[in-house]
Amino acid sequence: MNKSFLLVGVIAILSCFNLASQNESVSFISEETVESVKAMLLNEHGMDHDFRIERGVNSVATHWRSSDGCENDFEEFCKVNFIADDNELDLLFDRIANNFEFLYGYLGRISVELNRQIHEDRGDVHKIDQIFASYSPSAHLQEDLFRNRIAFIIGLNFPEYSLEEKNRLGGEWCYREWGYARLGDYFGARITADILQQNAEVSSRANLYISEYNIYAGYLLNDEDERLFPSHMRLLSHWNIRDEIKSNYDDQRGLEKQEILYKVMLRIINQDIPKEFINSRDYLWNPFSNNLYDEEKVLVDGTPEYKRRYELLLENFHSMQRVDPYYAELDTYFERSFESQMEISYEEVSSLFKEYASSPLLRDVAEHISDRLGRSLRPFDLWYNGFAGRGGIPESELDKITKSRYPNAAALEEDLTRQLLDLGFESEQAKFISSKIEVNAARGSGHAMRASMRSKPSHLRTRIGEDGMDYKGYNIAIHEFGHNVEQTISNHYVDNYFLSGIPNTAFTEALAFMFQKRDLQLLGVEQSDDLVEHTDVLDMFWDNYEMMGVSLLDMEVWRWLYENPDATAVELKEAVLKLSKSIWNSYYADIFGEKDVPVLAIYSHMIQSPLYLMNYPYGRLIMFQLEDYIVDKDFACEVVRMFSQGYLTPHHWMKGAVGEQISNQPLFDAVEEALEAIAK
């Protein structure tokens, strides 16, 4: 045989194979066929169904691949599977709801179990634990549901609505119609299993990196070679470092401790922290000079971390990029984060945050803080918490209380019912909610994990030391408890499975903050300050000021990534530092009297939870509006009423909860009132 002829034949075969592979990622159904199928269904079922037919046929055509059949198969599928009868559509919805709860529920439960060694404080992490944690048991589920045509049946019969349509039409929908719309959100893209699995591995690497990024504070040296912190103190970045800064405002040497921890933060951001010191007690380190010493205080060579933090951020970006082409409309993760996940536009979020960070009230509060401290503000005073009186009890005394009461996770779990009773929940309700929550000691920071089905518990995780839970861990635990209460109410008390949840994570943060605010009440510590209501307002206002900045940075970093998709980790690092300084100079430098500070880039969420940070300041704004609304009402009853609305859009949830939309103004008004009251 002629070798040239053979080569041409092989190339032709490979070209056909590549074409077939490419065809698997795009629809091949012609516009003529799509319009013909729509006309056929309209003729058979009538114009009353024109909207569902229009959306449904388009949805199926968008996701149909050559492996699903030819155009005739597509036409036959639509003809046979479109449901016009309301009773049959109801039956279909109920069957899908029942089966999806088990399907997604058990897959979610498998992930919980495979990640326990990573998420919980269960000893050393073995390589096999990392492999299990990075495995996604649900990676093939979406493709399986397309291949067996369940996804197509859903797409054909339950239309997908845009955010604008949900906000415009949803006011007339009953809860069941909302369930129909939420089911229509399920299959907006047909993403291949290999991409979903790759992304799960990227996420797992970032989570493990952050969960083990501990700084042993007792091994930090100041310029006098002193060790200012207890030898056992282990601070997870950024959460515990931040909280330790907060806890030292009443300490005799608190300012020195805060300065050294602030310098640690800057070293982490700049990535010149020695790798040898991270999560290790084998060395001593002076973060001012960046000198590393052995236990005998002999100078040793350290290796800067250099860029690992930004490599993981870049990996997260590329993992989201791999998904982008599968979305016809919202074809960037940035757009999906706002329009689909948060269901609030970027423009609205950015405008609200900038309005807040520009408020002239911030200068008034800053001057009040400076007067209290008796000094000019330092950048780490972003985390000033002197407004929170903690009942006049030093944190060391609160540590004794919490460690005695909660020596382990089981002790906290046993106390959850009592806590709910103290918050006004009825006895049976308190027992039911607490029975749906499992408490675990966390490896990393505290977090709450939603139950994926009603028969399984949600998880409350916080750090618990060998000698029990300190006040920081307790305060975080009460925050996470608020998440768990929301998760239980919005899972068990909603109208249907597809309404399980809340509009976005800012809403669960709102209830978590409401619980966290009541942490001393749940310890039985009385507040004796007559101005506590006003100082609480100032505390939240100042706290949220910081979160506005870190959230704006998170958003601008992702905008930069999409504008510079081929950037290296070093270029990304430089961009993060530049953007953080720019945001600081715009909204913070005037308040703190110092320019070009990159401290807004310290938050670990940027590395492990892409575009999550904006939920915190939004959550606080929502929290304030909810608290303001229920001030003369029953706390427990209102919490149940509001959060049993379920998975509506933010627009409709807020209207149902408090009758108004999310705004800065209610908090601004309260700050003005608080400043006037404190000045008297």
pLDDT tens profile 96-126: 999 999 999 999 889 888 988 888 888 888 8
- What is the tens place of the pLDDT at every residue in 368-388? 999 999 999 999 999 998 886
Q: DSSP letter at 422?
A: H
Q: DSSP letter at 445?
A: S
Q: DSSP letter at 290?
A: T
Q: Is the pLDDT of residue 12 over 60?
A: no
Higher pLDDT, 227 or 24: 227
Greatest CA separation found in the chain? 101
130 within 8 A of 119, measured Cβ to Cβ = no
pTM over 0.75: yes
Q: How many CB atoms lie within 10 A of CB 540?
A: 22
- Please state, in angstroms and rounded to a whole number, the distance separating the CA atoms of residues 55 and 629: 39
Q: How many CB atoms lie within 10 A of CB 303?
A: 11
Taking the CA atoms of residue 532, residue 534, residue 539 and residue 540 in that order, the dihedral angle to the nearest 10 degrees is 120
- Please state, in angstroms and rounded to a whole number, the distance separating the CA atoms of residues 463 and 473: 5
- What is the tens place of the pLDDT at every residue in 159-170? 999 999 999 999
The single residue listed with the structure tokens 């720019």 is: 582
The pLDDT score that the predictor gives to residue 525 is: 87
Return the SS3 of 213.
coil
DSSP string, 601-612: GG-THHHHSTT-
Q: Where are the domains of the chain?
A: 209-308, 322-389+529-680, 393-484+507-523
Residues in the chain: 680
- Please state, in angstroms and rounded to a whole number, the distance separating the CA atoms of residues 288 and 228: 14
Q: How many CB atoms lie within 10 A of CB 354?
A: 14
In sequence order, the 6+-apart residues with CB closer than 8 A to the CB of 75 are: 33, 36, 37, 40
Return the SS3 of 439.
strand
562 alpha carbon, distance to own chain's centre: 21
Is the CA virtual torsion 335, 338, 339, 341 positive or negative? positive
564 alpha carbon, distance to own chain's centre: 24
Q: Is the pLDDT of residue 466 over 90?
A: no
pLDDT band for position 392 (cuts 50, 70, 90): low
Q: DSSP letter at 638?
A: H
Q: Is the pLDDT of residue 174 over 50?
A: yes
